[in-house]
Amino acid sequence: MFLQDDDEMTDERDEQLIPGMTSGNEFDFEEGVPPLRVSGFICFALGAASCLSILFKPLLFLPLAAFACGLIALRKYDGPRPAGTRIAAIGMLMGVAFGSCGYTVNMMKRTTLSRQAEEFAEQYMKLVALGHDEHAMELQKEWYNRLPTDMNLSEHYLSDQRITESLVTFKDDMVNRELKQRGVDAEWVLDRPIRVYFEFGKDHAEVIWVDPTGESKLTIQMFMDYNIDSHGRGQWQMKTVQPMRRRLVAESVL
C-alpha cells in the first residue's frame, strides 16, 4: 500500500514539474501560443522599401509585392491571432501610401515633360520657319556644347568651312525646306499624344506633328533627349527631325 502511494505521489510531482507531459508520455504543446507568419514581416520590409518607388519608377513593383504578401499574411486563421498580422497591415498601408505617391509623382513628371517637349518642338519649328538655321542647329547640340547666346552665330558658322558645310546640309534638308515653305503661320497640330519614355539612363520624347492645311499632308517625327545641366535645370536636345516613317514588318514586306 505504502509503495503504491509513494508511486502515485511521484507521478503527481512529475506532472507538476513537467506540465507538458501526459500520462501517455506524449508532449501536448501549450495552447495559446500564436503561429508565426513570416509573410507579414516580408510585407513590412517591402512596404518600407516602397519609398524608393517615389524616386525610381521601375521600383513601383515593390508596393504591389508588399500588398500581395500582406494578403497572404492576413488570410483567415483559427485559434489565436498569428504573429505578423499587425505588422503586415502596417506594411500594406506603407505600400499603398508610397505606391500612390510614386505613381502620382511619375505621372506628373511625364505630364510636365510632355508639355515641355511640345513647347521646345514648337520653338524649334518656328526658328527653322523664320530662317534662323544657326539657332536651330545649336538646339541639336548638348547643352554644354552650345555657343553663348550673345555670340554672332552667323559669322561663326561662316568662319569655318566644315561648319559652313553642315549649315548648307541643314538648309537643304527636306523637312527644313518644307517648314520654311509653309511659314510660321502653318497650323501644325499633334498627330498623337506625345510619348515620353526612359531609356539609357535619361528621359526621351517623341513628338509627331501634322499640317492638314497644306497642299500636301506632311507628318514630321521628332526625337528629343532631356538632360540636367550643371545648374540643375532641365535642357532639351533635338536629336532627330524626319518625315514620319513606318517600320517595315514581315507582313508588309511579303
Is there a domain that residue 130 lies in? yes
What is the number of domains present in the chain? 1
Q: Give tens-digit pLDDT for 18-33.
A: 444 443 333 344 555 7
Sign of CA pseudo-dihedral 127, 130, 133, 134: negative
Indicate the length of the chain as a whole number: 254
Is there a domain that residue 185 lies in? yes
Q: Give tens-digit pLDDT for 145-185.
A: 998 878 888 888 888 888 889 999 999 999 999 999 888 88
Is there a domain that residue 65 lies in? no
Measured distance CA(250)–CA(254) in Å, rounded: 6
Is there a domain that residue 110 lies in? no
Predicted local distance difference test score (pLDDT) of residue 21: 42
Predicted local distance difference test score (pLDDT) of residue 67: 92
β pairing state of 234-243 and 218-228: antiparallel
The pTM of this model reads 0.69
Measured distance CA(85)–CA(43) in Å, rounded: 10
Is there a domain that residue 126 lies in? yes
Q: Give tens-digit pLDDT for 62-80.
A: 999 999 999 998 888 887 8
Kindly provide the b/e burial profile for residues 126-143, where b requires at least 16 CB atoms within 10 angstroms of the residue's own CB.
bbbbeeebbbbbbbbeeb
Q: Give tens-digit pLDDT for 1-59.
A: 444 555 554 444 444 444 444 433 333 445 557 788 898 999 999 999 999 988 888 88
User: What domain range includes position 236?
Assistant: 115-253
Residues 6+ apart with CB under 8 A from 235: 143, 226, 227, 228, 229
Residue bearing cell 568651312? 161
Q: Give tens-digit pLDDT for 95-126.
A: 999 999 999 998 999 999 999 999 999 999 99
Closest by CA position to 238, among listed 224, 227, 249: 224
pLDDT at 212 over 50: yes
Residue bearing cell 504578401? 69
